[in-house]
Structure 1
């Protein structure tokens, strides 16, 4: 029996781990110009610093989620924290942009272990009536990381250089490891005794890698070959999984579960429409508007602070009324905030930028917790790891889609040019076109969020 103290420890370590990853990611967006100056990297290479982590996380989340069911979620969670912390320390000493990108990929492996297990554990120990609140608290720490990341990232970059961003992760990681070892006594291995579908895991990884690589290579014609390979490997994966004794993904989770399917689609679309905002606005504020890294970071804080405030409120609300109502309203508000950014120019007043960010923060805060609650509450307990893994995978694919859109715009309008005043007009065009696409994507997400159907939050 899990007592109140252990439940609080579980929520604390899940929240702390959820803080680590977005803190690093949002800090990096502010540090990109400093990295570009040190490594003489172009806009596309800067995009890869962000994308390498997401690629790795997207590929490995589901396999590690399934493996956690077999060997224990606490064990995989702890391994993820160790890998993420060690990779962060190694990033401090990265001698080149290529080396940094490789280390970010390793960080993604650790992140995959964290996201494949943390929500599943929280969902399992927090029952009906308190699950939405617990998930809201966890997600609020994500926004806390997003909030502190730009500001502290700008300050740290200005005072000590961009490597200090990664160094901060080390003590936070060590604290998470210590509390996990000392405060969590139980283990969760609902599929103990079963075997990992290794062949299915390999095919799954190939499928996602080829698809993601194809997206990120757009508009290069070679991208079509990669996407074609992803479609073929996807067909092979489905064929194999339907015949596997212990499949990597139990497709019965999707069958007839409209809420689960459309909530995941909505999550992917929402991340696809919003994740690239930080990168675009970081470059816009520092290059076009002329703000320092610290000042740009302080401006970008407006969005995640609002997210952090409203996420627990929305999570609690989704324990009482249908999550689709709250989530759909959030998606609509996010689309409105994105639409204002289409009008950005070198002369745009600061209050317009901050106001748009606050609108996006309100929208995303209302969307995320109820949407996650809908996903995790729409499956049986034996499928919690799959639900957690699919939710995290959709998030990663959405993030990659967002970065692919941003990198596509950079490739088309800027090319391989280093960002200098001469290419500021091209950068401005990239930002405008990207926000047009983001807004249109979010409008589609409104429909996906609404048609998910209803759930009964008063039952497990």
Structure 2
């Protein structure tokens, strides 16, 4: 078999490979953000309370976090193309099954499966792109991949709002199916399989411990302040400590934490990613509730306003990625953290009288911030990873993002439990809803401030 990098010396082959990966990386966030806009309608149709509704985006995260590291490692061993295509196929099948449900709980199971499919796609997609463009403008290529994600986030609220208004919320799950089929065809045609590594094995014990630890931590934090939640969170923390211990002694570890921590650029990039996505992920969910319940907008109107942030991110990400090929990545990345923090701090001041123009400006500022941060941060992290470990490296990067998402949403779910409880969101609950949103915006601004610190402290990627 030819060495994989020899197959990508042609520029046309590289760009077709990038396009193929980007179709799938566009699909997943488009589906995610379109479902967020449909949440109020889903809650009404399935008679679900506020806590159960908050689990619709949360279950997706749970699947993504728990399976991310094993998926990336399996891709390194068996071939990244196989895992990538398997994820796209699993997503399509799970989306079809939404026609069979009439209760919120089966929908949560579907969202869990879609999170697993996302782990398979994102755990291998970034590694494929990083390997293909290792010697050819990797920062720009990763920026374009990020732009595909943001374009999906951009189109999702708009598409989801229109579909929900015209055909109902189930159509939000069905419309992505043709795109999933296109992704399978393109990846099958244009992406070359990576070499199988017969000398490596998957650490099944470590994988099971990791999945148990992350799931227990996530669910436990979300169930706080109950005793069940506290005990489950403590169990998850103990299982995570066991995972760290087991990995240092495994013959085929998923990750060597000591080595990762010793790599300052990679470790700080992981920290920054975790913190920024803790700040960013709950934003779609919270803005959907604010714009529809407090501002009285329809799903399509809310979606059109929410797409402003992702639109700016999609435009800025390739430019900042290209900039990080020439400047130290920490410069644009840290600036992006600061912009995002300022936008969130301003959102904590909004109420029912706030103009939509002011909201639009804040979303644009935060879009600029995330666009400046993501591509340079990814470029910095993967620039210091060995080629044969890119699957694990990109999985760790994605885990930091997914665990940040998980923490952000777990805190929001906790706030809903503490302040609103199991009541459905009706007009008499709107003051309490605003209290939840304001507290959450302030907490997220704190995450972004910490991200600015860790981003700058990563140091230089390139020697002076």
| TM-score w.r.t. length of structure 1 | 0.97
- Distance, in Å, in 2 between the alignment partners of 1:400 and 1:220 is 19
Displacement after TM superposition at 1:110 (Å): 1.0
Paired position in structure 2 for 1:321: 327
Q: Decide which moves more: 399-408 or 356-365.
A: 399-408
Partner of 2:185: 178
Correspondence for 2:157: 150
Q: Is the 8 A contact 1:144 1:308 kept in 2?
A: yes
Give, in whole Å, the separation in 1 of the partners of 2:434 and 2:108: 26
The answer to whether residue 449 in structure 2 is matched with residue 436 in structure 1 is no
Who is 1:194 aligned against? 200
- Among residues 341, 346, 363, which one is paired with 1:335 in the alignment? 341
Q: Distance in 2 between matches of 1:57 and 1:256?
A: 26
Task: State the alpha-carbon separation in 2 of the partners of residues 438 and 252 from structure 1.
Answer: 29
Distance in 2 (CA, whole Å) between partners of 1:18 and 1:457 is 33
User: Can you give the 5+ residue segments of structure 2 that lack an aligned partner in the other structure?
Assistant: 1-5
1:17 aligns with 24
Q: Does 1:51 align with 2:62?
A: no
Preserved contact between residue 377 and residue 457 of structure 1 (Cα < 8 Å): no
Q: CA deviation at 1:108?
A: 1.3
Q: Distance in 1 between matches of 2:102 and 2:199?
A: 44
CA distance in 2, matches of 1:115, 1:208: 18
Task: Please show how residues 18-417 of structure 1 align to structure 2 within 5 Å.
Answer: 18-184=25-191, 186-189=192-195, 191-251=197-257, 253-417=259-423
Shift of 1:383: 1.7
Report Cα offsets for 1:399-419 as digits up to 9, x if no partner.
Answer: 111111221221122111101
Counterparts of 2:207 and 2:309, CA distance in 1: 37
Q: Matched residues in 2 for 1:337 and 1:93: separation?
A: 41
218-227 or 208-217, larger mean C-alpha shift: 218-227
Return the offset for 1:197: 0.9
Write the distance in 2 (CA, Å) between the matches of 1:417 and 1:329.
Answer: 40
Hey, what does 2:3 align to over in structure 1?
A: none
| Cα distance in 1 for residues equivalent to 2:283 and 2:403 | 16
**Contact 2:76–2:392 (8 Å) recurs in 1:** no
TM-score, normalization: structure 2?
A: 0.96
Q: Determine if contact 2:34/2:172 at 8 Å carries over to the other structure.
A: yes
Cα displacement string for residues 282-301 of structure 1 (whole angstroms, at most 9, x for unaligned residues): 11111111111110111101
Q: In the alignment, is the contact (CA less than 8 A) between 1:57 and 1:111 conserved in 2?
A: yes
Distance (whole Å) between structure 1 residues aligned to residue 198 and residue 317 of structure 2? 34
Taking only aligned residues, the RMSD between alpha carbons, in angstroms, comes to 1.4
SS of the residue aligned with 1:248? coil
Partners of 1:204 and 1:247 in 2: CA distance:
12
Please report how far the alpha carbon of residue 128 of structure 1 lies from its aligned counterpart in structure 2 after TM superposition. Answer: 3.5
Residue 129 (structure 1) shift: 4.8
Supply the distance in 1 between the matched residues of 2:178 and 2:418 (Cα, whole angstroms). 41
- Show structure 1 runs of 5+ residues with no match: none
CA distance in 2, matches of 1:95, 1:141: 33
2-side partners of 1:447 and 1:190: how far apart? 40
Deviation at 1:441, TM superposition (A): 1.6
Residue 321 of structure 1 aligns to a residue whose secondary structure is coil
SS in 1 for 2:41: helix
Kept in 2: contact 1:262–1:452 (CA 8 A): yes
| Deviation sequence 1:30-72 (CA, Å, 0-9, x none) | 1001001101111111111111111011000100111111111
Q: Residue by residue, what CA displacement relative to the aligned partner does 1:383-432 show, whole Å, maximum 9, x if unpaired?
A: 21111000111111111111112212211221111011111111111111
* Partner secondary structure for residue 268 of structure 1: helix
How many residue pairs match? The answer is 457
Q: Secondary structure at the match of 2:142?
A: helix
Deviation at 1:221, TM superposition (A): 3.2
Which residue among 3, 11, 14 is the counterpart of 1:4? 11
Q: Secondary structure at the match of 1:286?
A: helix
Equivalents in 2 of 1:365, 1:200: separation in Å?
34
For the 8 Å contact 1:253–1:379, the answer to whether it is kept is: no
Contact kept in structure 1, 2:14 and 2:132, CA below 8 Å: yes
